Amino acid sequence: MTRARDVASSGGLTLIKTQTIGSGVSSVTISNVFSSTYDNYRIVIGGVDCSAVTNLRLQLGSEPNEHYGSLRYDFYTGTDTNFTRNVNQAAFVIAIGGTNDDTSSSFDICSPNLAKRTTASGTFNGFAYSGWFGGGVNTTNQYTSFNLLTSGATLTGGKINVYGYRM
Amino acid sequence: MTNPLIQIDDEVREMTDEEYAQYLVASKDVIPVG
């Protein structure tokens, strides 16, 4: 017989942290969210206003290299469809942000606090641009935090939710 | 000239010179033009 406690311990998302993004920031660090409690995490970013169209990038901890990834994007008119790739960089691209409080992204991070390579994949929409990405960090370093970085623009408002889950 | 703002959890402040140098390295790819 399956008991409720067994279901609760193996499935579903548990909210770990909600972080409201401040005004005019170029980098947001979310600390102390990855631990041995969960192997995997869902990150949901919503309602972010970018000062300009900008790549949003994810850095695990303060890892200075070893981020690899590929992002596929499409401009809604179809006039710009392409890839952005990262090879052994300090972060990988997870979204192209827009300027009308409308940037959102949802993605999963697997094994950030385990002695394994961390991987991430998900989707995004910045109104004009939408797409998906996958990336990973080619080390077995263990992380407790992540950074959300712009490419020269600033972020204002919106929230970042971090959920943990088991598989 | 001031450095950009960094947010660490609920704290928002100006980046130190070292943080700004790290930020420039981590954010150095090309922005697509639509």
SS3 annotation, chain A = CCCHHHHHHHCCCEEEEEEECCEEEEEEEECCCCCCCCCEEEEEEEEEEECCCEEEEEEECCCCCCEEEEEEEEECCCCCEEEEEEEEECCEEEEEECCCCCEEEEEEEECCCCCCCEEEEEEEECCCEEEEEEEEECCCCCCCCEEEECCCCCEECCEEEEEEECC
Digit-coded pLDDT (tens) for A120-152: 999 999 989 999 999 999 999 999 999 999 988
Phi and psi at residue B32, to the nearest 5°: -65, 150
Whether the predicted pLDDT of B33 surpasses 70: no
Chain B interface disruption, residue of A16, A25, A31, most B CBs within 10 A: A25
In whole angstroms, what is the distance from residue A60 CA to residue A116 CA?
13
Q: Nearest-CA neighbor of B4 among B28, B20, B18, B21?
A: B20
What are the tens digits of pLDDT across the range B15-32? 999 999 999 988 876 544
Could you tell me whether strands A103-110 and A159-165 are parallel, antiparallel, or unpaired per DSSP bridges? unpaired
ipTM for the predicted complex:
0.90
Is residue A133 within 8 Å of residue A157, measured between CB atoms? no
- Cα–Cα distance between A40 and A28 in angstroms, integer? 21
Give A13-33 pLDDT, tens digit per residue: 999 999 999 999 999 999 999
Contact call for B34 and A62, based on CB within 8 A: no
pLDDT given for residue B25 in this prediction: 87
How many angstroms separate the CA atoms of A113 and A7, rounded? 23
Mutation site, B23, B25, B30, B33, interface A, largest A CB count within 10 A: B23
**Exposed / middle / buried, residue A77 (Cβ in 10 Å: 0-12, 13-18, 19+):** exposed
Q: What is the pLDDT of residues A82-122, one digit of tens each?
A: 999 999 999 999 999 999 878 999 999 999 999 999 999 99
Interface check B6 vs A, CB under 8 A = yes
What pTM was computed for the model? 0.91
Share above pLDDT 90 across residues of chain A, in percent, rounded to a whole number: 86
